[in-house]
């Protein structure tokens, strides 16, 4: 009956416990089970779209190879590739708004239809969009997609890796000028209840690599959260201070400066005489093949 966190361990005396109907958490009726079965079986349909797009792409490439103009063939293949990527990304975007709509801070039982739809959309994003969007990390293209799917991103934000998939995009708010390389956990499953709440990163704040930000947290303007720190649920960090650790504590002094890379000197390596001989023989062979006629009568 107790809850602990961190190293050294910290007891959590006020863990929020939500009481819901057991028919939605532990003892679902037949209708709830059929609803869950439907969404679980729907996962078998997920590979169909990428498979169809792959077949279509190869068909376009085959027709392009028969084209008389090389630039035209290249243009067709590039256009087909763009269409494949765009279709997968738009499927993730449209599915989110059709299944979930505008998500607000809320609580949903495990066997509810909403939780099943939420889980299915996570699968769609992971299978269709994560690999593609990871190639657009730290670019404006990914920022545009995140804004379209519900993330609030201000001006001049610097986003690190890990934004290719956000489970709860509507819960994330990044104010102007912030630098973020965090792992967002804007939801949790506790006692078979899905809980989600907003996470806000203040103006000009910094959240370093590998830091975990739990739901309900608010990081004040100009604050600095060190790498691998953990911001607890509903924790509010005052502005202009430094924090680190798990659980979080205030750190003293200015944030550490980034290391200045030293210029690299020339790479010195000893030459291998055997490789030089092999290279010379290869050059002589190429000269022989190109400049000595095959019918010159020389016996080799």
Q: How many residues does the chain have?
A: 300
> Would the pLDDT of 17 be above 50?
yes
Tell me the per-residue pLDDT of 120-173, one tens digit each, with 9 for 90 and over: 999 999 999 998 899 888 888 999 999 999 999 999 999 988 899 998 999 999
pTM given for the model: 0.78
Does residue 247 have a cis peptide bond before it, meaning omega lies within 30 degrees of 0? yes
Beta strands at 172-174 and 199-201: parallel, antiparallel or unpaired: parallel
Q: Closest Cα partner for 220 from 245, 196, 238? A: 238
Tell me the per-residue pLDDT of 48-60, one tens digit each, with 9 for 90 and over: 999 999 999 999 8
Mean pLDDT of 87-113: 94
Residue 144's pLDDT is 94
Produce one character per residue of 213-237: b if its CB has 16 or more CB atoms within 10 Å, e if not: bbbbbbbbbbbbbbeebbbbbebeb
């Amino acid at each position: 009956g107790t809850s602990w966190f961190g190293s050294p361990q910290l007891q959590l005396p006020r863990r929020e416990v939500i009481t819901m109907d057991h028919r939605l958490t532990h003892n679902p009726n037949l209708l709830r089970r059929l609803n869950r079965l439907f969404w679980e079986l729907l996962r078998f349909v997920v590979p169909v779209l990428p498979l169809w797009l792959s077949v279509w792409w190869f068909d376009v490439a085959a027709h392009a190879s028969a084209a008389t103009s090389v630039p035209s063939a290249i243009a067709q293949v590039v256009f087909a590739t763009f269409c494949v990527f765009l279709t997968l990304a738009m499927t993730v975007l449209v599915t989110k708004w059709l299944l979930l709509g505008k998500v607000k801070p809320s609580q949903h039982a495990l066997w509810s239809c909403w939780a099943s739809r939420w889980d299915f959309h996570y699968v769609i994003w992971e299978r269709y969009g994560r690999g593609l969007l990871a190639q657009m990390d730290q670019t404006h293209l990914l920022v545009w997609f995140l804004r379209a799917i519900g993330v609030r991103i201000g001006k001049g934000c610097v986003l690190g890796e890990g934004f290719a998939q956000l489970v709860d995009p509507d819960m994330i708010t990044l104010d102007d000028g912030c630098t973020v390389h965090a792992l967002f956990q804007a939801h949790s499953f506790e006692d078979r209840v899905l809980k989600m709440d907003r996470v806000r990163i203040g103006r000009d704040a910094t959240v370093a690599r590998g830091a975990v930000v739990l739901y309900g947290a608010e990081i004040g303007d100009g604050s600095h959260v060190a790498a691998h720190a953990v911001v607890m649920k509903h924790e509010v960090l005052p502005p202009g201070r430094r924090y680190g650790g798990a659980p979080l504590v205030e750190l003293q002094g200015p944030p550490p400066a980034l290391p200045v890379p030293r210029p690299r000197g020339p790479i010195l390596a000893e030459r291998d005489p055997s490789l030089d001989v092999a290279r010379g023989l290869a050059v002589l062979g190429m000269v022989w093949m190109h400049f000595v006629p095959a019918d010159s009568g020389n016996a080799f």
